[in-house]
């Protein structure tokens, strides 16, 4: 009955446009409650232990990377959720359970979504819920299980594939440490798992949309003092809208590896190979079986206020009866004014991704992003990096201890005038065979993140997309408007 009443209430908010005010009120209430609770020790009084006041680590996007063994020392426990983050059992050294989760109501509003393919204005509520159990049987064996639920309500055209997955296994894997000798460790992981490499331009868990991405398969990780090496063989998990109906994608297999070496304290080098076989790959040229190999190198680092991240990517393989030859250069450079009060950071992204030169011949030059981060160019832009050139300046600032802001402006051109525009997953959105115009459009935007405390954050976003000549000549080509209010609670 509670669920039915909640659903009716949400629909009423959507109809009358009051959902943003409701979410803001929830944020304030939860913020005050969480601040008060976070300042108390499990026993109900402020912790007075010798190590009290040591800040706990921030939550990570990949929750299996969190380490709570520091809570073996009771004096380190100062957060209301610490009793469930490290629960020893069985009387065995190193045997414990850690529990955690996330709730994320997310209100989105579009006008002329997909440049008018979905006309008019539409506001709707997305909800994400996740909960995990991290069982460490001993120093060598670990089981991690995470449930996920993605719900959509009020969207006039219905849920998109990344909007809804009522209840399913987000992750369920077993880690076995085969080698543990000095600074050398070898871990074998089997099962459903999230993965992310580098800047997440090619492999990501897809954080931005409502439903995250998982892979089913095997992963081996070797860590030494100088290198971290990963190798994997998987199939992406197919997202289905029902309950416990996600299964390995029988049309696609994904394998590869990455080696990372630290270059000093604040720089690094990634070298990687990724392989993808897709039984039904679609491009502006047509649909055929594809086997694509990706080699790349990423150099990243920071120092003296500067930061940089550069990917050089080359792809080859076969598409139907033709050969694949594609490439990309993706980069971001930034400078932080550390001596100024808000520590502003100026950044510039410069990306170029190849497109098909001739849709009439069997060869293919379209860059394929594989499994990239979900909001590749922000949540307003429905397209991904295939056949694109992008110039993207941005300004970030820490306005206060808890409030940060980011303003950016993105400009997009087609790399090849014979190829079309593709979505984030590399599927065709607009054919390139009806226009010779290179300019796709530009999109200014602004975002504020209010981190009330370690557990709770409120994000407000607004952006516009002004359609360029290419979109106008392949209609509909209307300007888009986007607004969002996201409340994230983690424990």
Peptide bond into 192 cis (omega under 30): no
Nearest alpha carbon to residue 134 among 108, 97, 177: 97
Tens-digit pLDDT profile for residues 132-159: 999 999 999 999 999 999 999 999 999 9
Q: Does 216 map to a domain?
A: yes
- Rounded to whole angstroms, the Cα distance separating 332 from 300 reads 9
Q: Does 387 map to a domain?
A: yes
Three-state DSSP class for 246? coil
The pair of three-digit structure tokens given for residue 434, joined into one six-digit string: 């009806």
DSSP string covering 381-450: --B-STTEEEEEEEEEEE-SSSEEEEEEEEEEEES-TTS-EEBTTS-EEE-SSS----EEEEEEEEEEEE
Tens-digit pLDDT profile for residues 89-132: 998 988 999 999 999 999 999 999 999 999 999 999 999 999 99
Region of residue 271 (left: phi > 0; alpha: psi -120 to 50; beta: else) = beta
Residue 310 has, within 13 A of its CA and on its CB side, a CA count of 8
Give 24-32's long-range contacts (Cβ < 8 A, gap of 24+). 24/458, 24/485, 26/105, 26/487, 27/450, 27/452, 27/456, 27/458, 27/487, 30/452, 30/456, 30/487, 30/489, 31/452, 31/453, 31/456, 31/458
- Rounded to whole angstroms, the Cα distance separating 395 from 138 reads 46
Confidence of residue 54 (pLDDT cuts 50, 70, 90): low
Mean pLDDT of 367-387: 93
- Rounded to whole angstroms, the Cα distance separating 369 from 386 reads 7
Is the pLDDT at 30 greater than 80? The verdict is: no
State in Å, rounded, how far the first CA of the chain is from the last one. 27
CATH number of the domain residue 177 falls in:
2.40.160.100
As a 3-state breakdown, the chain gives helix, strand, coil percent values, each rounded to 5, of 10, 55, 35
What is this structure's pTM? Answer: 0.89
- Rounded to whole angstroms, the Cα distance separating 365 from 316 reads 9
Is the pLDDT at 40 greater than 70? The verdict is: no
Q: Does 296 map to a domain?
A: yes
Q: Does 58 map to a domain?
A: no
Is the pLDDT at 36 greater than 80? The verdict is: no
Number of domains in the chain: 1
Per the prediction, the chain carries an average pLDDT of 91
Q: Does 119 map to a domain?
A: yes
- Please count the other Cβ atoms lying within 10 Å of the Cβ belonging to residue 335: 16
Give the pLDDT of residue 8.
Answer: 38
Nearest alpha carbon to residue 13 among 159, 157, 104, 125: 125
The pair of three-digit structure tokens given for residue 248, joined into one six-digit string: 């390995």
Tens-digit pLDDT profile for residues 236-274: 999 999 999 999 999 999 999 999 999 998 999 999 999
Tens-digit pLDDT profile for residues 303-345: 999 999 999 999 999 999 999 999 999 999 999 999 999 999 9
Is the pLDDT at 23 greater than 60? The verdict is: no
Mean pLDDT of 457-478: 98
Beta strand 215-223 with 165-181 is unpaired
- Rounded to whole angstroms, the Cα distance separating 39 from 447 reads 29
Give the distance, in angstroms, between the CA of residue 410 and the centroid of all CA atoms in the same chain.
19
Domain that holds residue 354: 98-129+146-490
The pair of three-digit structure tokens given for residue 114, joined into one six-digit string: 């997909």
Give the pLDDT of residue 197.
Answer: 97
DSSP 56: P
Q: Does 113 map to a domain?
A: yes
Q: Does 218 map to a domain?
A: yes
Crossing angle (nearest 10°) for helices 2-16 and 19-38: 130
Give 233-242's long-range contacts (Cβ < 8 A, gap of 24+). 234/195, 236/371, 237/192, 237/213, 239/161, 239/162, 239/165, 239/211, 239/213, 240/165, 240/168, 241/159, 241/164, 241/165, 241/166, 242/166
The pair of three-digit structure tokens given for residue 228, joined into one six-digit string: 């971290």
Is the pLDDT at 3 greater than 50? The verdict is: no
Q: Does 86 map to a domain?
A: no
Give the pLDDT of residue 182.
Answer: 84
């Amino acid at each position: 009955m509670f669920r039915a009443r909640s659903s009716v209430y949400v629909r009423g908010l959507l109809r009358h446009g009051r959902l943003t005010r409701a979410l803001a009120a929830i944020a304030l209430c939860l913020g005050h409650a969480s601040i008060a609770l976070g300042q108390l020790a499990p026993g109900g009084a402020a912790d007075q232990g010798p190590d009290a006041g040591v800040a706990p680590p921030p939550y990570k996007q990949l929750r299996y990377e969190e380490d709570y063994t520091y809570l073996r020392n009771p004096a380190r426990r100062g957060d209301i959720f610490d009793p469930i983050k490290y629960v020893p059992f069985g009387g065995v050294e190193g045997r414990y359970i850690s529990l955690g989760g996330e709730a994320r109501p997310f209100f989105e509003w579009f006008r002329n979504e997909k440049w008018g393919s979905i006309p008019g204005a539409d506001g709707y509520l997305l909800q994400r819920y996740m909960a995990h159990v991290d069982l460490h049987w001993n120093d060598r064996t670990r089981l991690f299980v995470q449930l996920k639920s993605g719900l959509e309500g009020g969207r006039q055209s219905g849920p998109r594939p990344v909007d809804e997955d009522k209840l399913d296994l987000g992750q369920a894997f077993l880690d076995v440490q085969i080698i543990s000798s000095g600074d050398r460790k070898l871990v074998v992981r089997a099962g459903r798992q999230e993965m992310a490499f580098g800047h997440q331009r090619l492999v990501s868990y897809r954080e931005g949309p409502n439903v995250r991405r998982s892979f089913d398969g095997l992963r081996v990780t070797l860590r030494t003092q100088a290198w971290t090496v990963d190798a994997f063989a998987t199939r992406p998990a197919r997202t289905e809208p029902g309950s416990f109906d996600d299964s390995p994608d029988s049309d696609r297999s994904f394998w590869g590896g990455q080696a990372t070496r630290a270059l000093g304290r604040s720089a690094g080098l990634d070298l990687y190979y990724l392989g993808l076989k897709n039984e039904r790959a679609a491009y502006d040229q047509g649909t055929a079986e594809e086997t694509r190999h990706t080699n790349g190198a990423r150099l990243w680092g920071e120092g003296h206020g500067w930061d940089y991240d550069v990917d050089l990517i080359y792809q080859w393989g076969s598409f139907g009866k033709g050969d694949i030859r594609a490439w990309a250069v993706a980069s971001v450079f930034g400078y932080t004014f550390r001596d100024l009060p808000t520590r502003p950071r100026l950044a510039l992204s410069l990306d170029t991704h190849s497109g098909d030169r001739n849709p009439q011949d069997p060869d293919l030059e379209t860059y394929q992003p594989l499994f990239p981060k979900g909001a590749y160019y922000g949540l307003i832009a429905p397209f991904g990096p295939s056949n694109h050139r992008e110039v993207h300046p941005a300004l970030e600032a820490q306005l206060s201890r808890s409030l940060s802001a980011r303003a950016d402006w993105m400009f997009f051109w087609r790399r090849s005038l014979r190829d079309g525009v593709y979505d984030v997953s590399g599927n065709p959105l607009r054919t390139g065979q009806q226009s010779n115009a290179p300019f796709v459009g530009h999109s200014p935007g602004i975002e504020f993140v209010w981190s009330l405390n370690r557990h709770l954050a409120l994000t407000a976003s607004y952006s516009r997309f002004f359609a360029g000549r290419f979109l106008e000549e392949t209609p509909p080509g209307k300007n888009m408007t986007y607004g969002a209010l996201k409340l994230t609670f983690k424990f």
